[in-house]
Amino acid sequence: MSVAVEFHEIVKFFGPVRVLHGVSFALEPGHVYGLLGENGAGKSTLMKILAGYEALSGGELRINGRAVHFSGSRAAEAEGIVLIHQEFNLADDLTIAQNIFLGHEKRRGLLLDDDTMRNEAAVVLEQVGLKAHPDTPVRNLIVAEKQLVEIAKALARKARLLIMDEPTATLTPGETERLFKLIAQLNASGVTIVYISHKLDEVERITSEVIVMRDGRFVAREFTRNVTRHQMANLMVGRELSDLFPSKKTAAGESEQEPLLRVQKLTVPGWAHDVSFEVRSGEIFGFAGLVGAGRTELFEGLLGLREHHAERIELSGRAVRFRNPREAADQGLTYLSEDRKGKGLHVAFGLRENLTLMALKRYARPWLNPKGEQQALRTAVKTFGIRTGSLDIRASSLSGGNQQKLALAKVLHPDPRVVVLDEPTRGVDVGAKRDIYFLIQKIANEGRGVIVISSELIELIGLCDRVAVMRAGRLQATLDAEHLSEEALIAHATGTHQTGTH
C-alpha cells in the first residue's frame, strides 16, 4: 500500500491569525522530499495537519485521491502517515518495547502479551540498526538512539509516509551518517519521506525534490539536482542572501591587549578537564566539538552551576571564582543557554519581564519602575530587531528567531564584559541567523568579549576570530582565522588529527 498525498488550498487559522494561505501541492509515493522554509513559514503546521495533530480550517487533504478528515494522529497512522517530532514523544520511564507499542498494546485476553511485543520490537530495532534490548528503559538511551526508537515505532505501525522534523539537530556527524543510510534504506523499501531541515547541505544530499514554503504559502518545487544551496536559501528568504556573515575586522595588534577573560586549568568533574583559554576585548571566540564534548558543561561550571575547580580565573585582570550565575553576572559575565525554553526564557512571561530579569535591581528603588522597563524594552526591540506586533505579549507568541533575539537582549541587559552564547542560532531560520550574526559582531565591536559555542562549523568559521576545539572534555586545539577550516575542525573534534595543536 502506498500513500499519495494531495494538499488542496489548505487554510489554517490559529485564533484570528491565518498561518496557511491556501497551500496546494502533491506528494508522490516513494520519494524523499525536502520541505524548506524559514521558521513560521507554516511547514510544521502543514505537516501536523497531514499527521492528524491539527485540524485544517479550510481546503482539502486528499489521500490516494480521497478527501480525508483525520480525527487525530491515530487516524493518520491508520493511513500509514507518521510524524516524528523534533522533541521526541517517548515516555522515559518505559522500556523500548513498551514505547514502541504505547497505545497499540498487544493483548492476550485481559493481559498484555509482553513476549509478542518484545519479539516484534526486536524485529523493528534490527531494521533501524539499534543494538539495544527491547527491555532497556528509554531513559538509558542517548538522543540518537531515542530517535531510532521513534523510527522503529513508526515502522511497527507500518508507516508508508514518514515525516521527520529537524532530525539531525542533536546528532553527531557519525550518527547523522547512520540516519541517512537508514533513510535511503527505508526509501528503497518504498517509504515516502518528508524531510524538514534548516541544514541545506543535508537536504541537498538526501532528497530528490525540494518544496519551499514562505509566509504560509507554497513558493516553489524543484528537483534537488537542479538547484544550488544558494538558490534554496534565496527561495526561503525571498531575497538575495548576498552575505550571511558580517565581514571580519582585521585582528592586527589586538593580541598585545590584556585578555578580558583568562581561564587556567578549569575542570568540571566528569565533563571537562584542565581547559585553559583567553578571550580578548572585541574578540569572537568559538568553541567547537561534538555533542557531549563538554562545552556546555564547561561553561556551566565556570558560571557556578556545576561543581568545578580551576587553577586561576581572571576577569578584567582580577582573580574571580563564581559560586552561582548571580555572582558571575555581578562581575560581568553572562551566559545564554542552548536550551531556550528550558533555561533561556520565561515563555509564559511578557517580553518586558524577560528582558529586565537579569538586571532587575536597576529598576528597583525599591519599587519597580514599569515605565523604565517598558522604555528599555522599546529600545531593545529596535536595537535587536525583534519583530513583534505588540510589546504586551508573552514571549511564547514570538517566533523562534525573535525569541532568540530577545534572549540575546536579556543576557546583554546587565551590560556584561564577557558574554557566552551557547548555540545562539539553534532552531532559527536563515534570515534571523543573519540578523544574529550581525548582532554578535556588533556586541564584540563594543569591546566585549564574545564566546560562541556552536555545533555548526560554517557558523564558527564565518563568525569567529579564533576557535577552540574540544573533544571528550579536553581542549584539543585553538585555531586562528588562518587555520580555520571545516576539515581542521572535524579532525580535532573527532580525534583524527595527526600533527597536534597549531
Partner 1 sequence: MQREPIKQELTEAPKQDTAWTVATRSLARLHGIGPVVGLVLLCVAGTLLNPDFATFDNAMNVLTRTAFIGIIAVGMCFVIISGGIDLSVGSMAALIAGCVILLMNRLGLAGLSPVAAVIFGMAFALMLGALFGLAHGLLITRGRIEPFIVTLGTLGIFRAYLTYFAEGGAITLDNVLSDVYSPVYYGSLIAIPIPVFVFAVVSVTGGLILNRTAYGRYVQAIGSNEQVARYAAVDVDRIKVITYMLLGTCVGVATLLYVPRLGSASPSTGLLWELEAIAAVIVGGTALKGGHGSITGTVIGAILLSVISNILNLTNIISVYLNAAVQGFVIIVVAFLQRKRK
Binding site for partner 1 (CB under 8 A): 15-17, 281, 305, 316, 324-326, 328-330, 334-335, 337, 342-349, 353, 357-358, 360-361, 363-364, 366-368, 378-379, 381-393, 410, 412, 414-415, 417, 442-443, 446-448
In this structure, the number of other CB atoms found within 10 A of the CB of residue 217 comes to 15
Give Cβ neighbours of residue 501 (< 8 Å, ≥ 6 apart): 476, 477, 478
* Residue given cell 533513510 in the structure block: 183
Upper half-sphere CA count for residue 363 (Cβ side, 13 Å)? 20
CB of 495 to partner 1, least distance (A): 31
Amino acid at 250: T
Nearer to partner 1, 263 or 336 (CB): 336
- Angle, helix 400-412 to helix 370-383, in steps of 10 degrees: 120
CB of 314 to partner 1, least distance (A): 15
CA distances from 318 to 85, 265, 288, 314 (A): 47, 16, 27, 5
Nearer to partner 1, 28 or 415 (CB): 415
Q: Is the dihedral of CA 325, 329, 334, 339 positive or negative?
A: positive
- Angle, helix 400-412 to helix 430-445, in steps of 10 degrees: 10
In this structure, the number of other CB atoms found within 10 A of the CB of residue 419 comes to 24
CB of 319 to partner 1, least distance (A): 18
Nearer to partner 1, 101 or 384 (CB): 384
Cα 148 to Cα 210: distance, rounded to the nearest angstrom: 24
Cα 3-41-9 angle, rounded to 5 deg: 50
Cα 437 to Cα 278: distance, rounded to the nearest angstrom: 22
Output the nine-digit C-alpha cell for 170: 542533536
Cα 12 to Cα 20: distance, rounded to the nearest angstrom: 5
Across 64-188, the runs of DSSP E, i.e. the strands, are 66-68, 81-84, 107-108, 111-112, 161-165
Nearer to partner 1, 239 or 442 (CB): 442
User: Coil, strand or helix: which one is 279?
Assistant: strand
Nearer to partner 1, 35 or 419 (CB): 419
Longest pairwise C-alpha distance within the chain: 79
CB of 173 to partner 1, least distance (A): 29
CB of 231 to partner 1, least distance (A): 27
Amino acid at 123: V
CB of 278 to partner 1, least distance (A): 16
Nearer to partner 1, 129 or 385 (CB): 385
Nearer to partner 1, 243 or 480 (CB): 243
Output the nine-digit C-alpha cell for 478: 585553538
Nearer to partner 1, 122 or 303 (CB): 303
Output the nine-digit C-alpha cell for 116: 509478542
Nearer to partner 1, 6 or 422 (CB): 422
Closest among 347, 348, 349, 377 to 363, alpha carbons compared? 377
Exposed/middle/buried for residue 5 (C-beta within 10 Å: 0-12, 13-18, 19+): buried
CB of 65 to partner 1, least distance (A): 38
Question: Helices marked H in 430-501 — which ranges?
Answer: 430-445, 457-463, 486-494
Question: Helices marked H in 220-331 — which ranges?
Answer: 229-237, 295-302, 325-331
CB of 222 to partner 1, least distance (A): 31
Nearer to partner 1, 187 or 337 (CB): 337
CB of 71 to partner 1, least distance (A): 21
What dihedral do alpha carbons 29, 32, 34, 35 form, nearest 10°? 30
Nearer to partner 1, 8 or 346 (CB): 346
Cα 16 to Cα 9: distance, rounded to the nearest angstrom: 18
CB of 361 to partner 1, least distance (A): 6
Nearer to partner 1, 30 or 449 (CB): 449
CB of 445 to partner 1, least distance (A): 9
Cα 112 to Cα 323: distance, rounded to the nearest angstrom: 51
Nearer to partner 1, 109 or 366 (CB): 366
Distance between terminal CA atoms of the chain?
Answer: 57
CB of 82 to partner 1, least distance (A): 28
CB of 377 to partner 1, least distance (A): 9
